[in-house]
Structure 1
Amino acid sequence: MRDPALHLGESAAWELAPTGRSCGLFVLDSNANFKVGISDWSAPKDDVEGCKARAALAAQEFYLAAQPH
């Protein structure tokens, strides 16, 4: 599911059925396409926003590192 609120690459989309314990974020850009997945089986199942926040932060760091200098 595309998330226009995320400003990562040209497009960013969440993997289907995120939970507080597992979520994935796809980032698509002309020079970098990747998926960041978070798995934390000790996290609360209903903390979907927490999982998404951790995935978005990791994706942002990876995206910045992948940019040409």
Structure 2
Amino acid sequence: MGEDKETPERRRERLRQEELKRNPTGNVNDAFNRAKNGNLADLAGSLGWKGIGILIFVIIIGFIVASVFLK
């Protein structure tokens, strides 16, 4: 990958840092809400495609096991 190309994670982080520089006090409310509720986009971005695949697999297996034991 060349120096002029940036990954989506790096682009997201760069944009977040720029927003913090432009509006440091406005971000406080967003940070509190994100900490309370979580953010699916951040979860998906941090896990990557393999992590998301494993997470979906585990959820499906969990439903199958629960349905077998709850019959």
- Considering the TM-score relative to the shorter chain, is it more than 0.5? no
Higher-helix-fraction structure: 2
The higher radius of gyration belongs to: 2
Structure-1-length-normalised TM-score: 0.35
Higher-strand-fraction structure: 1
Structure-2-length-normalised TM-score: 0.34
